[in-house]
Structure 1
Amino acid sequence: MLYARTTPAEKRAAFRERLDSGELLRLPGAFNPLSARLIERKGFDGVYISGAVLAADLGLPDIGLTTLSEVAGRGRQIARVTELPAIIDADTGFGEPMNVARTVQEIEDAGLAGLHIEDQVNPKRCGHLDGKQVVDAETATKRIRAAVDARRDPNLLVMARTDIRAAEGLDAATDRAKALVDAGADAIFPEAMRTLDEFAAMRAAVDVPLLANMTEFGKSELFSVQQLADVGMNIVIWPVSMLRISMGATGRALDELNEVGHLTGKLDEMQHRADLYDLLDYEAYNRFDTSVFNFRVER
């Protein structure tokens, strides 16, 4: 009912403990608070909040147009409705070291369990598009040092994302990952790895948790959870998948309205009203007002 009972500090501590276990944690991408609650209901380990999804939700391309306030606000809305830890895409930290420091504290105050900051230049672009540019090692490590210095809860996960693989190759990616760990990064997000061998090489290079990004239509093959576990990954995200599936279904429903004028043939594809009310914990609100849930929804 209302929001999660688990505090942000408790979520962060539990998430760190799970990461320390070495198991692979599965974090589907939530595109709104309700989808985050469904992710929890289906038994996943955490929630991922994608910058690309946040931008798309605003009708914008993923090129750094979203602001810290928009990202932190949406992160707060999503994190507070689920007992699961949520990690969020903080792009390049929304500026240089001072901006990164403020970003970390805003994200911490919003109740997130962690965030990642990347080494692209501003304005950034989607990690699976060609033509990306990355900053030099000094600039990248300054961002991470600022992030680590700014956090007040030591359990807030500060993850460094590196996009250098696509620009300069795998050796550059492993070198950059090592430098980011030396700068204080708790975990590494090596973007646009192409093969399991590349993930394995990254695993051999650093001794911190690693994230695998299984985004569709990108540079990486879509490996299974077991395949990623076998090469030592610790977190796997499907950042935009739920949005893509939802938008695909919405497009088909709109086509149906254009073609036949009603959605009777789509009822089996919809979330039933009863399931929605159950997910919202509608009945629990009767503790405030017994007139809230005094009806039955027929299936």
Structure 2
Amino acid sequence: MSEMTSETPGARLRKTVEARQAFLVPGVMNALAARVADDLGFEALYVTGAGVTNAYLGLPDAAFLGLTDLVGHVAAIREVTDRPLIVDADTGFGNAVNVWHSVRRLERAGANAIQLEDQAAPKRCGHFEGKSVVEASEMVEKVRAACEARSSSDLLIVARTDAYATEGLEAALTRAERYIAAGADITFVEAPRQVEEIAEIVRRLPVPQLVNLVIGGKTPPIPQAILQELGVGMVLYANAALQGAIAGMQQALSTLQAEGRMTEADGLVASFTERQRLVGKPLLDGLEARYAVREDGAA
């Protein structure tokens, strides 16, 4: 777990985003992935709705995840890391009133930033075909409700628009401007296809920008250095950990199936010792020793 500081995670996140140095944020789909990312030193973590849906339900990112499921995952992740948590709340699980309730619950569970998007139901992955968006005025009210629902000013509201796919860049920028006027701290134009468009997004919008680089998605792979030059606030790799885990599981289990055995020496799995370290077994051992009852019954 990361070291505690006098600043809240939300304040640390705001400072890092406002530096506009395109800092990398990996997506985490569960508490184990959060431990791995924390252990590697990433500054913040993104609780990915797509990743949680894929890993927890084994389903595609198409509005199958409920608020209670997401709250439970955020709380579990918060227990194992002090890193700032950016939480993908999809469309807010309903209208503006539902958004207000969702923000309250997610903030209590440990979110430091909450992302909302303007897709119409049923929402889907931002890099899928067939998306549609609600009226901008509806999303404006959701953003306003989210800002008014938060208990701490350190909780950031991230407003995402998917209008690029259906209405083009100019319409997406106009929507983002309206969401900023409603109180959004960060905006996120999903799935632009050219570096020049990202440059225009950053130039036009006054708040820090999030760029989502989906591996295999519609936005081309862009080096972090270029995004730093453009002044991007943060760069999201929402499902790099999940896609890596899938590839690793497929390779390990295919080898097991083919060979009929597996050992640490094969180099396809983390060692038993490393697995226990990551999940905090040494801490548990220390607690058991500290609170062990002696033979005379004393602590």
TM-score using structure 2 length: 0.91
- 3-state SS, counterpart of residue 288 of structure 1: helix
Pick from 34, 37, 40 the counterpart of residue 38 of structure 2: 40
Letter in 2 for 1:207: P
2:62 paired with 1:63 = yes
In the alignment, the residues of structure 1 paired with residue 3 and residue 23 of structure 2 have an alpha-carbon distance, to the nearest angstrom, of: 22
Q: Report the CA distance shift for 1:5/1:112 in structure 2 as closer, same or farther (over 3 A).
A: farther
Letter in 2 for 1:141: V
Segments of 5+ residues of structure 1 without an aligned counterpart are: 293-299
Segments of 5+ residues of structure 2 without an aligned counterpart are: 292-299
**Where do 1:137-176 residues align within 5 Å?**
137-176=136-175
2:236 paired with 1:231 = no
Pick from 10, 13, 34 the counterpart of residue 12 of structure 1: 10
In the alignment, the residues of structure 2 paired with residue 111 and residue 8 of structure 1 have an alpha-carbon distance, to the nearest angstrom, of: 17
2:177 paired with 1:178 = yes
In the alignment, the residues of structure 1 paired with residue 280 and residue 91 of structure 2 have an alpha-carbon distance, to the nearest angstrom, of: 37
In the alignment, the residues of structure 1 paired with residue 171 and residue 227 of structure 2 have an alpha-carbon distance, to the nearest angstrom, of: 22
2:264 and 2:271 in contact (8 A); partners too: no
Match of 1:51 in 2: 49
Match of 1:240 in 2: 239
- 3-state SS, counterpart of residue 160 of structure 2: strand
Match of 2:83 in 1: 84
Q: Deviations over 1:198-257 (max 9, x none)?
A: 111111111111101111111100111112111111111111111111111111222222
Match of 1:115 in 2: 114
Match of 2:296 in 1: none
Q: Report the CA distance shift for 1:43/1:288 in structure 2 as closer, same or farther (over 3 A).
A: closer
**Offset at 1:265?**
8.0
- 3-state SS, counterpart of residue 54 of structure 2: helix
**Where do 1:190-205 residues align within 5 Å?**
190-205=189-204
Letter in 1 for 2:21: E
Match of 1:97 in 2: 96
Q: Report the CA distance shift for 1:170/1:214 in structure 2 as closer, same or farther (over 3 A).
A: same
In the alignment, the residues of structure 2 paired with residue 178 and residue 253 of structure 1 have an alpha-carbon distance, to the nearest angstrom, of: 47
- 3-state SS, counterpart of residue 131 of structure 2: coil
1:8 and 1:113 in contact (8 A); partners too: no
- 3-state SS, counterpart of residue 29 of structure 1: strand
Q: Report the CA distance shift for 1:266/1:49 in structure 2 as closer, same or farther (over 3 A).
A: farther
**Where do 1:207-286 residues align within 5 Å?**
207-264=206-263, 267-286=266-285
- 3-state SS, counterpart of residue 80 of structure 2: coil
1:24 and 1:234 in contact (8 A); partners too: yes
- 3-state SS, counterpart of residue 36 of structure 2: helix
Matched residue pairs, number? 291
**Offset at 1:167?**
0.7
1:119 and 1:161 in contact (8 A); partners too: yes
**Offset at 1:21?**
2.6
**Offset at 1:68?**
0.5
Q: CA RMSD in A?
A: 2.1
Pick from 24, 28, 31 the counterpart of residue 30 of structure 1: 28
1:119 and 1:163 in contact (8 A); partners too: yes
- 3-state SS, counterpart of residue 267 of structure 2: helix
Identity %: 34
Letter in 2 for 1:18: T
TM-score using structure 1 length: 0.91
**Offset at 1:6?**
4.3
2:75 and 2:109 in contact (8 A); partners too: yes
Letter in 2 for 1:148: C
In the alignment, the residues of structure 2 paired with residue 220 and residue 18 of structure 1 have an alpha-carbon distance, to the nearest angstrom, of: 23
Q: Deviations over 1:89-127 (max 9, x none)?
A: 100000000000001001100111111000000110110
- 3-state SS, counterpart of residue 269 of structure 1: coil
The worse-fitting range, judged by mean Cα deviation, of 159-168 and 261-270 is 261-270
